[in-house]
A and B are shown apart, each in its own frame.
Chain A
């Protein structure tokens, strides 16, 4: 559904944000894009939706080239940016103006989301709190039913119950024809919601795998000692010894801890690459 073929991008010719980057994402999945601040997550997403153009390489999303910004492409893609700006109109008016751009927009679905989120339908968008505006736009984004839904840090600014609601809504809105890509640095917010992970760091994709594959290759657990244990990729001392990420040699399936995975990948990119290339 989303294909990047040797894409290079930077804000100037000399300084590249990412280089020679290839990526293939399929429908029916919720992908989590992780990376440290400034790694280029948002720029990568903006390249995918045609808000930025690659310097070299090709991007295809649902068969279209985003930079051409064809209406047929735009009506089947929704991008929720991290910082949102909404006009000073009511929810009603916003729908009237914006919904027609998305042929599969479902008003009943939207009403349902709005009432679940307790949003005041009569208020102007600019009179709402930041969190409320964000929730409003998430509800709108999900209701467009576009094939591709990309959200940049969607849980920023949401209170705790809203984060849980966000996970519920996103989980139920996935179907086999839809691709959802979410970038975040608050990995706990996406726990159990994403099924595949992409880690972008130092202008490269360090890993891109399903969490099932990650659980097959790596083990997350507590070890009594980490000395002389060559399987260990990352560890932190804890009460019962060391909480560690280590190579999965016993075919044991543990729960993937995204935070530990992230740290392990950043600390040991080469070993990770090696482990994941083994069959």
Chain B
């Protein structure tokens, strides 16, 4: 796995796990790799993986059954979308806002462009 420069590793691993779940590679109620196995696979300290698992457990994306290990929650997909949305609104959107403000781009302009983008990119859904 190629790690990006900026974001802390435990969150990057959280993203990786979320992606596996969203792609259906790790289905609901099924076990995910143990802390040790994932650590070995990604060449990362097991304490870092533990931190990722704790984090995802708090978000109720995965759950821990004593003696069995970690599994994907039934409603993991929705919870991941919720978490991703929260993170986008908190950290990425302010950056976009800043650029919009600096370049004097109005909300009307953005709205028009956004609508056009949706039509062009996802024609089947609309």
Footprint of B on A, CB under 8 Å?
A: 28-30, 164, 167-169, 171-172, 174, 192-195, 212, 215, 220-221, 253-257
Which residue of the partner chain A has the closest CB to B37?
A: A172
How far, in Å, is B8 (CB) from chain A's closest CB? Answer: 5
Query: A192 touching B40 by the CB < 8 A rule?
Result: no
How far, in Å, is A259 (CB) from chain B's closest CB? Answer: 12
Cβ of B36 within 8 Å of any chain A Cβ, yes or no, is yes
CA distance A253 to B43 in the complex (A): 21
With A172-B36, A192-B9 already in contact, the answer to whether A255 and B43 are too (CB < 8 A) is no
CA distance A193 to B39 in the complex (A): 9
Cβ of B109 within 8 Å of any chain A Cβ, yes or no, is no
Q: Which of B11, B37, B45 makes the CB contact (< 8 A) with A193?
A: B45
CA distance A80 to B9 in the complex (A): 29
Which residue of the partner chain B has the closest CB to A256?
A: B8
**A-B contact list, 9 entries, CB within 8 Å:** A168-B40, A168-B43, A169-B40, A174-B45, A192-B44, A193-B43, A193-B44, A255-B9, A256-B8
Query: A215 touching B43 by the CB < 8 A rule?
Result: no
Query: B6 touching A255 by the CB < 8 A rule?
Result: yes
Which residues, 2 to 23 on B, are CB-close (under 8 Å) to A? 3-9, 11-12
Query: A254 touching B43 by the CB < 8 A rule?
Result: no
Interface centre among B7, B39, B42, B46 (most CB of A within 10 A): B46
Cβ of B48 within 8 Å of any chain A Cβ, yes or no, is yes
Q: Which of A194, A212, A254 makes the CB contact (< 8 A) with B51?
A: A212
Query: A172 touching B47 by the CB < 8 A rule?
Result: no
Query: For the side of the interface on B, what is the size category?
Result: 20 to 34
Which residue of the partner chain B has the closest CB to A28?
A: B47
Which residue of the partner chain B has the closest CB to A174?
A: B46
Q: For residue B37, which residues in chain A have a CB less than 8 angstroms away from its CB? A: 172
**Binding site secondary structure of chain B:** helix
CA distance A110 to B37 in the complex (A): 18
**Binding site secondary structure of chain A:** mixed
CA distance A169 to B41 in the complex (A): 10
CA distance A164 to B36 in the complex (A): 16
Query: B6 touching A192 by the CB < 8 A rule?
Result: no
Q: Which of B8, B36, B46, B47 makes the CB contact (< 8 A) with A215?
A: B8
Q: For residue B43, which residues in chain A have a CB less than 8 angstroms away from its CB? A: 164, 167-168, 171, 192-193
Q: For residue A194, which residues in chain B have a CB less than 8 angstroms away from its CB? A: 45
Q: For residue A257, which residues in chain B have a CB less than 8 angstroms away from its CB? A: 5
Q: For residue B39, which residues in chain A have a CB less than 8 angstroms away from its CB? A: 171-172, 174
With A172-B40, A212-B51 already in contact, the answer to whether A195 and B8 are too (CB < 8 A) is no
Q: For residue A220, which residues in chain B have a CB less than 8 angstroms away from its CB? A: 6
How far, in Å, is A125 (CB) from chain B's closest CB? Answer: 27
Q: Which 10 A-B pairs have the closest CB atoms?
A: A167-B43, A172-B40, A171-B39, A192-B44, A253-B8, A195-B45, A195-B47, A168-B40, A255-B8, A171-B40
Query: A171 touching B44 by the CB < 8 A rule?
Result: yes
Q: For residue B40, which residues in chain A have a CB less than 8 angstroms away from its CB? A: 168-169, 171-172
